Structure 1
Amino acid sequence: MDFNEQGFKHLEAGEMELAAKAFTDAIEADPKDPTAYVNMGTLLQSMNDADRALRFYDKALELDPTFASAYYAKGALYYAAGLFVDAEAALRTALLNGLDDADLHFMLGMTYQQLGDPVRGLPRLERATELNAVDVEIAFQYGLALAQNEQIEEAAEVLEQVLLLDEQHTDARYNYAIALAFLGRQDECYAELETVLAYQPEHRLARDAKEKMDHLLGDN
């Protein structure tokens, strides 16, 4: 196990000082390797020290301007800070430099969502689901993006898959119900809203939607 592996083992165990020592040892062993600088930045970011983390990411990019992991790490930092324009630029550069994993596509898709650009966000979220078909949050956000792009039938299919992964995901079930309503499947919509409220009685959106449906049914 090398210093970087030791560092992540300590980081996962919450042993921050030991993780910092391992990443420092990695930098000292090979000061021209950008990997250890990104790892140290990740540690600092997990400790809410964004300024120092950014300096380590920039140092990694000084050593290798094409190091995609450093751009991804910067993008995640900017996203967490609400700097979505900067996040998009960094994450897109990571993509252009060859990084192609679910986390990157998901982060880039969510960044476009935050920028109010669901059209550009949709293919990134779709790619994330292709690379990780069992991640509930990725699938849920992809379903929402499909709905925002008015692809309601496709959204319903994806949200149904989310519920196969997690039947108690009440937000997914609520949005699935709304998609069913748009598709004219009112009885199924009503049943899904009832299920949402069975799992989460305080779900306000589901309660309001069910009350509206009750009112319409009463009028009829």
Structure 2
Amino acid sequence: MTTFQLLMLGASAFFAFKIYEHIQTLQDPEPADNKETPEETRSADAFSVFSPESLILRADESFEEGDMQKALALLTEANAKAKSNPDVLFKIGYILQQLNDNDEALKYYKEALELDKKNDYIHNSVASIYRANGEFISAKMHLNESLAIDSQNAITYYNYGNLLVDMNHPDEAIEMYKRAIEINPDFDEAKEELQKLS
């Protein structure tokens, strides 16, 4: 598996957990009372009867089905209704990254990170974009932040190893791959990369 696929796997697990959370909190939309003022009719709520939670749930389902455009549209609507939700911003960024719009994805990741600085998934995702753009120092900074949050995340060590290979630091990369394998002995991708450097 590539780093990108591992990030997708981690994000999919994250989405599955969020789907479960949202199912637990879903409520039926409130019926309209037809007494809205003109200002209220211009709000995001006026364009959809769905709550942000139900929109997120539907977006997660669309993502799982592989319909990235629909998931993105639903998340964008949820974001318009429930601003400052780091999970929604992260998901939008992640889908944009899958659609190869790294610049736009990075904007959403940074916004999510402002709201949730202790999210290692976001730091890993930001690092992957910086790595793809050749901004290795910035990528390294975010991987260090991710490890400070969760020092037992094998994927972060794997991603760090890949970054160090790109930076032409094979000895340091070997240590990162070894650490990933110590944490997850079944981490075949890390074993493959380690074998390439041995």
Structure 2-normalised TM-score? 0.69
Q: How many residues align?
A: 167
Q: CA offsets, 1:113-171, max 9 Å, x none?
A: 22232232121112111210112222222222322333222112111111111111111
Larger relative CO (CA 8 A, sep 6+): 1 or 2?
A: 2
2:161 aligned partner: 177
Query: In 2, distance between residues paired with 1:78 and 1:195?
Result: 35
Q: Is 1:32 the equivalent of 2:8?
A: no
Cα–Cα, structure 1 residues 212 and 81, in superposed 2: closer, same or farther, change >3 Å? closer
- Determine if contact 1:66/1:97 at 8 Å carries over to the other structure: no
- Aligned counterpart, 2:196: 212
Contact kept in structure 1, 2:97 and 2:105, CA below 8 Å: yes
**CA distance change for structure 1 residues 194 and 73 in 2, over 3 Å: closer, same or farther?**
closer
Return the letter of the residue paired with 1:146.
Y
Mapped partners of 1:75, 1:63: distance in 2? 17
Which residue does the alignment assign to 2:181? 197
Provide the alpha-carbon RMSD of the alignment: 3.2
Percent pairwise identity:
21
Mark the structure with the bigger radius of gyration: 1
Instruction: Call closer, same or farther: CA 1:71–1:149 in 2, change over 3 Å.
Output: farther
Gapped regions of structure 2 (runs ≥ 5): 1-19, 34-42
- Would the aligned equivalents of 1:153 and 1:183 in 2 still touch at CA under 8 Å? no
Q: Is the 8 A contact 2:79 2:85 kept in 1?
A: no
Aligned mates of 1:130, 1:156 — CA distance in 2: 18
Taking the TM superposition and a 5 Å limit, the aligned residue runs for 1:74-153 are 74-96=58-80, 99-153=83-137
Q: TM-score scaled by structure 1?
A: 0.63
Instruction: Tell me, in whole angstroms, the C-alpha distance in 1 between the residues paired with 2:108 and 2:45.
Output: 29
Q: Match of 1:64? A: 46
Moved over 3 A (4+): 70-77, 93-98
**Where does 1:6-45 land on structure 2 (aligned, <5 Å)?**
23=27, 31-32=31-32
- Contact 2:44/2:80, CA 8 A, preserved across alignment: no
Change (3 A) 1:31 1:149: same
